[in-house]
Amino acid sequence: MSGHLNELIDESIRLELNVADLYLCFQAAFPADADFWWALALEEKNHAALVRSLREHFLPAGLVPKDLLASSLETVRETNREIRGLLAKYRRVPPTREEAFRTACQLEEGAAEIHFQEFMDREGSSELERIFQRLNADDKDHLKKLRAYLRARDDGP
């Protein structure tokens, strides 16, 4: 088992859970949008569970889908540091609603999240890739969901 791949999986799980925590922070700060943030947080937790299943079931067999995870461990680590900093800041002083949505969009446009989304959007080249994509089918494309939610309320980017 590759040490680098194992670290990348661990950091990727942390990324998904950190994003979920941030969305739960937004849920608490904005009761009018609570259901929306709750749904995104649950989807992020599902992403974490999906990545966790890589380590538990597929990594030992050498069956990790190629390109599912971001290739740069340092990029994922840096993103996690940024999110933890945002959480600390927003727990002290909640963001404005506009700042919350802008932050979420920036995160979803970030390298690690975009990489995951690109894997899920492309045509699977193996049955295992197609299984992962089907498992994630309902949780796709948070950036589109964020923008559509704001457009529906006429107050977003």
* CATH number, domain containing residue 100: 1.20.1260
* pTM for this entry: 0.78
Cβ–Cβ < 8 Å for 87, 22: yes
Q: Which two structure tokens, joined as six digits, stand for 43?
A: 């989807």
Domain assignment of residue 58, yes or no: yes
61-95 residue pLDDT tens:
676 666 666 667 888 899 999 999 999 999 999 99
Cβ–Cβ < 8 Å for 17, 45: yes
Q: Which of 18, 121, 155 is nearest to 77 (CA)?
A: 18
CA gap 50, 64 in Å, rounded: 12
Give residue 55's domain range.
Answer: 3-152
Rg (CA), the chain: 16
The pLDDT confidence band at residue 57, using thresholds 50, 70 and 90, is confident
